[in-house]
């Protein structure tokens, strides 16, 4: 796993299975299997801007927050 800061209050966690984008300390976007997924939960205007900036116009499927968080569970297999 590798965690890197990509902006103010923004970071990306790279694992063997996925890339997880965080706004502040909240995972809000997952890229896995060549597909983009974003949370369907609204957190704040700033987090919404972070998501839009990270996706850079890429269409992402809106999924429950629990789906995003499941990529952080130890031992997850895709």
In a domain, residue 20? The reply is yes
On whether residue 75 sits in a domain, the answer given is no
Name the more confident of 21 and 77. Answer: 21
**76: confidence class by pLDDT, cuts 50, 70, 90:** low
78 found inside a domain? no
For residue 6, give its domain range.
Answer: 2-70
Asked whether residue 65 is domain-assigned, the answer is yes
Q: What is the pLDDT of residue 74?
A: 58
pLDDT tens by residue, 3-59 = 999 999 999 999 989 999 999 999 999 999 999 999 999 999 999 999 999 999 999
Classify residue 76: in a domain, yes or no: no
Give me the number of domains the chain comprises.
1
Q: Structure pTM?
A: 0.91
Q: Is residue 77 part of a domain?
A: no
DSSP 8: T
């Amino acid at each position: 796993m590798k965690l890197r800061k990509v902006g103010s209050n923004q970071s990306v966690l790279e694992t063997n299975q996925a890339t997880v984008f965080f706004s502040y300390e909240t995972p809000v976007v997952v890229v896995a299997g060549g597909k983009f997924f974003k949370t369907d939960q609204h957190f704040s205007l700033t987090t919404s801007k972070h998501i839009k900036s990270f996706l850079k116009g890429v269409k992402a499927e809106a999924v429950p927050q629990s789906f995003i968080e499941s990529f952080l569970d130890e031992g997850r297999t895709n």
